[in-house]
Amino acid sequence: LLMVGGGILKDKLKEKIASHGLKNAIILTGYLRGKDLLCAYLEADILILPSFYELQSIVALEAMATRNAILIGKSRENAAQELVKEGVNGYTFN
């Protein structure tokens, strides 16, 4: 599993990964940009965007441009879910 990005929960996430013995199964890249980000999209099969509060998501659009399926959190406050054609280019979840 490749997890791209960072944020305030990164250290807590590292602890959880270690405590569950998943250090060899999960790679945390931190923030990527440019060619590195493009390579990550091209290597991926699916983008999971767990945010339930999202405007028009550039991340989802970039993933779709590289032909990744998208899995997006569904809520009234998440405009990114409008990009999903259920079962065609991805799915939404509660």
Q: Which band of pLDDT confidence, cut at 50, 70 and 90, is reported for residue 56?
A: confident
**Distance between CA 57 and CA 64 in Å, rounded?**
11
pLDDT at 53 over 90: no
Residue whose pair of structure tokens reads 């290597």 in the numeric block: 43
Place of tokens 């099969």: 45
How far apart CA 45 and CA 87 sit, in angstroms, is 15
- Return the half-sphere exposure (C-beta side, CA atoms, 13 A cut-off) of residue 36: 8
pTM reported for the whole predicted model: 0.80
The C-alpha atoms of residue 89 and residue 50 are separated, in whole angstroms, by: 16
